[in-house]
Structure 1
């Protein structure tokens, strides 16, 4: 005789459904928060880039691509794009290079290493507004500490307006951007260096590999995921950097130190008061960042050996 299994009752089915929806219930609050804080403002920005908004915030109708066309006709567009690319390449490049050297140093055993690691957290833990304010006083032309130091060392003969002079303003802000970005990047790379197995390094030394060959052929491939994380997060942080540039430069006339983020703020909230054009610039910023991150992910992703990939599992 066949034994028949009784069909589960309604209470059992409800209990099973309740248990199956546990992940969804845990994810629901964070999903709603992300939708409200990230998705909705992003979609609203895209919508604003296609409408005509007056200086007092009155929506006057659909504008089509007029906001984008007006943005492309701006005289300062070329200068700001050049500043943004230079800012991104120099700050991210030097930050990663210096942080890699510093992480390599901090991975070694030496007296006081823990104190040095803790001291590295100070620029990262400090508010960017406070850090930028301190550097603004350091860069002051009349009584700034930097000018006083360089004049005492006879490096310069007269004070320099570091953040007011168009020739030095952007580079002065870049130095602060590098200093504030290095702590986080150093810790990301340091965590990657600590995953390198010591026995693999010892085996490379036994095989006669030098320090450079060991680092290039053993350490760098293992460090590649951490390096990609450091590059991507630094690009997001540096590209969207606003506090450092705005606090130091303030309302200095001209666009000689503006990136697309600070220029967007000026378009939306200072002289022009053009929310539609600012939204169009914001959309282009997001598209540029997505394209840039995609390129980095494709370039830095781990390489697969085609011969190994085609082979099946060993039998």
Structure 2
């Protein structure tokens, strides 16, 4: 029997045989319940939730409200008077000042962005070199970018003033002009004066983007080019520009969006101009609602929808032309 001693011939009693008791396997909790508390998707949702709500409240809802307002009629006090169908869009597309506004917008965006890239590239090249006072120059470059656009535009309004502006005072004393120049009232000078301000406030951001791109280029590449006998211009054309292409694309894309939507500069500088002579599409939309004879909120909303579609088309064409996402040269 189990647990009793067994005798054997010629030997003593054998040790007792231990009995085995059935062992119970430890119970495991269901895998689903164990994984549910550690599911990374819940943690991701907790972190992204506030940002998603902010985007819904600041971007999505205003877009929906804008589109809805573009199909309604409003009184002078802003009260809805019922649906308008596509009448607001027909009124915007048939507006007599639309052609001039679109021309001003194209000249404004293309000239400011192109000039900003050229000036920004030159300044970024300078700031990438070692020289005395480089840190001070970098700090000073932030000031036009950090300052309010309204304050900067108002400052240039004072500089361009016909009677007491510093620009006219300097030009008269140097003998460049005989009479003061109406920089913001004369049609020949209004757009160039606006473009100068646009470039002034856009250069700092562009310089820092291009400077980051220049600093990311390995020094070994330039050393290898020098060993191969490449000159300065060939090195710049074959190495610097291709490797700087991602930074140039980003700077161009963001500048197109910023300059297109630059309401404070255009409105502040052209506030005294009658009608829509010097306006771009962004100030045209505002004046339709608050400053023009129409004062139609629904028409202004329709112009706003057209502005959004226009900038999306421009960005899409630009990304198509530059082949966004294409592998960069290594």
Question: Following the alignment from structure 1 to structure 2, what is the Cα–Cα distance between the partners of residues 103 and 244?
Answer: 24
Aligned to 1:249: 270
**Are the counterparts in 2 of residues 169 and 256 from structure 1 also a CA contact under 8 Å?**
no
1:276 aligns with 2:298: yes
> Which structure has the bigger radius of gyration?
2
Return the match for 1:294 from 316, 319, 327: 316
Return the match for 1:41 from 62, 69, 72: 62
- How far apart are 1:11 and its partner, in Å? 5.8
**Are the counterparts in 2 of residues 162 and 169 from structure 1 also a CA contact under 8 Å?**
yes
**Are the counterparts in 2 of residues 170 and 256 from structure 1 also a CA contact under 8 Å?**
no
Higher relative contact order, structure no. (Cα contacts within 8 Å, ≥ 6 residues apart): 1
Unaligned runs of 5+ in 2: 1-24
Aligned to 1:138: 159
Aligned to 2:214: 193
Q: How does 1:42-191 map to 2 (within 5 A)?
A: 42-191=63-212
- Secondary structure (helix, strand or coil) at the match of 1:168 reads helix
- Secondary structure (helix, strand or coil) at the match of 1:61 reads strand
Return the match for 1:206 from 227, 230, 234: 227
- How far apart are 1:14 and its partner, in Å? 4.5
Question: Following the alignment from structure 1 to structure 2, what is the Cα–Cα distance between the partners of residues 150 and 9?
Answer: 82
Aligned residues: 304
Q: CA RMSD in A?
A: 2.1
Question: Following the alignment from structure 1 to structure 2, what is the Cα–Cα distance between the partners of residues 11 and 4?
Answer: 17
- TM-score, normalising length from structure 1? 0.91
Q: Which of the two has greater helix per residue?
A: 1
- TM-score, normalising length from structure 2? 0.87
Question: Following the alignment from structure 2 to structure 1, what is the Cα–Cα distance between the partners of residues 217 and 71?
Answer: 51
- Secondary structure (helix, strand or coil) at the match of 2:278 reads coil
